[in-house]
């Protein structure tokens, strides 16, 4: 598998950046958004997972992602200096203001779809957090070092399932392959940088996402081949999450997640 040859990602044509401001703030928020949206997706599995232990596992993974999101939002609010809290950033921004990658907002589908999404994202976060652990920003570095420990067992969890399902029955193999095929078009976006990332790399705070791609490919192709699966030949990749152009699924997710704060502003429970 040589995804670098196949993945050629572009920002949506004619898009105008709607985000300006402190690049550190924008950088923290985009990674917080990735973690929050994935946490929300995973929590939708609660009481629906194929077995009780997996139900608990998915809820625990969701908690990890939520915890990272909270730490990043809280810090982003401090960096911005306008008094916005983690809750303000999570609950009171609109769909166009969210800058998560498209991968994490994709619907859960069947369990195999969820595990394909998780494999791709866990493999990405392994490289991301490792790189950010040595960030020149001590707070971000601390959050990353913590998250890296968790990314290791997240990846172990998702790769175990992908191998078990891919190298399982005819039916589980077919479904696991379908999950990989359906989500492959969203992996390219993980490795495309923009001005925000360039500024963070310049400051020694962030990582150029394109430098994470090679190790990601090795991790994923190792699991995919062990699972007797393959990645699609289709080079088409979708983009846009980082500039607020989302798939139709994010709006529905936010409507469910935010409705209570929207209906009862400032409510606490």
Partner 1 sequence: MVSAVALDARRAREVLAQVVDPEIPTLTIEELGILRDVAVEEGRVTVDITPTYSGCPAMDLIRRQVRDALVAAGFVDVEVRTVYAPAWTTDDISDEGRRKLAAVGIAPPRRLDEVTVPILCPRCATDRVRTVAEFGSTACKALMVCERCGEPFDRFKEL
Residue 138 or 263 with smaller CB distance to partner 1: 138
Nearest-approach distance from CB 198 to partner 1, in angstroms: 26
In the complex with partner 1, the residue whose CB is nearer, 16 or 138, is: 138
Distance CA 225, CA 166 (A): 9
Q: Which one of residues 107, 109, 141, 235 is an interface residue with partner 1 (CB under 8 A)?
A: 141
Q: Tell me if 138 contacts partner 1 by CB under 8 A.
A: yes
CB of 157 or CB of 175, closer to partner 1: 157
Kindly indicate which of the ranges 83-91, 146-154, 192-200, 240-248 contains the residues binding partner 1, using the contact rule CB under 8 A.
Answer: 146-154
Between 93 and 146, whose beta carbon lies closer to partner 1? 146
Shortest Å distance, C-beta 54 to partner 1: 8
| Cα distance between residue 150 and residue 168, in whole Å | 27
> Among 147, 187, 253, 254, which residue sits at the site for partner 1 (rule: CB under 8 A)?
147
13-72: contacts with partner 1 (CB under 8 A): 53-54, 56-57, 60, 62-68, 71
The CA-based diameter of the chain, rounded to the nearest angstrom, is 55
257 interacts with partner 1 by CB under 8 A: no
User: Given candidates 44, 108, 139, 247, which one binds partner 1 under the rule CB under 8 A?
Assistant: 139
- Rounded CA-CA distance 230/264 in Å is 48
d(CA 199, CA 23): 7
Other Cβ atoms closer than 10 A to 245: 18
Q: Which DSSP state fits 11? A: P
Q: Using alpha carbons, select from 23, 35, 9, 3 the residue that is nearest to residue 192.
A: 9
Q: Which is nearer to partner 1, 86 or 217 (CB)?
A: 86
**Distance, CA of 186 to CA of 182 (rounded, Å):** 9
In sequence order, the 6+-apart residues with CB closer than 8 A to the CB of 99 are 19, 26, 29, 30, 33, 241, 242, 243, 244
Smallest gap, in angstroms, from Cβ of residue 96 to partner 1? 27
Q: Taking CB under 8 A as the rule, does residue 76 contact partner 1?
A: no
CA 98 to CA 241: how far, in whole Å? 8
Site size toward partner 1, by CB under 8 A: 26
CA distance 187 to 239: 9
Sign of the CA dihedral running 197, 198, 201, 202: negative
Among 146, 168, 215, 258, binds partner 1 (CB under 8 A): 146
Nearer to partner 1, 132 or 212 (CB): 132
| CB nearer to partner 1: pick between 71 and 180 | 71
**150: contact with partner 1 by CB under 8 A:** yes
Nearer to partner 1, 39 or 187 (CB): 39
C-alpha 265/C-alpha 242 separation (Å) is: 27
**DSSP H or E segment with residue 214:** helix 213-226
Contact set with partner 1 (CB under 8 A): 53-54, 56-57, 60, 62-68, 71, 138-139, 141-143, 145-147, 149-150, 153, 156-157
């Amino acid at each position: 598998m040589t995804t670098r040859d196949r993945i050629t990602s572009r920002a949506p044509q004619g898009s105008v950046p709607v985000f300006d401001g402190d690049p550190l703030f924008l950088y923290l928020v985009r990674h917080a958004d990735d973690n929050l949206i994935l946490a929300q997706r995973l929590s939708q599995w609660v009481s629906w997972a194929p077995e009780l232990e997996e139900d608990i596992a998915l809820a625990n993974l969701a908690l990890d992602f939520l915890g990272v999101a909270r730490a990043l939002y809280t810090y982003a609010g401090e960096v911005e200096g306008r008094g916005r809290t983690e809750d303000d950033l999570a609950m009171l921004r609109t769909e166009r203001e969210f800058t998560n990658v498209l991968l994490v907002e994709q619907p859960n589908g069947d369990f195999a779809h969820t595990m394909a999404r998780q494999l791709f994202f866990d493999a990405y976060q392994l490289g991301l957090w490792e790189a950010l652990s040595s960030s020149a920003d001590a707070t971000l570095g601390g959050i990353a070092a913590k998250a890296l420990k968790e990314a290791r067992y997240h990846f172990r969890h998702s790769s175990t399932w992908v191998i078990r399902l891919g190298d399982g029955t005819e039916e589980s193999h077919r479904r696991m392959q379908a999950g990989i095929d359906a989500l492959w078009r969203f992996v390219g976006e993980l490795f495309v940088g923009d001005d925000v990332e360039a500024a963070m790399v310049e400051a020694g705070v962030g990582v150029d996402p394109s430098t994470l791609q090679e190790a990601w490919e090795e991790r994923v192709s190792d699991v995919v081949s062990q699972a007797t699966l393959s990645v699609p030949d289709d080079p088409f990749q979708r983009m846009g999450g980082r500039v607020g152009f989302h798939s139709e699924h994010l709006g529905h997710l936010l409507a469910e997640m935010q409705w209570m704060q929207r209906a009862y502003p400032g409510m606490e429970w």
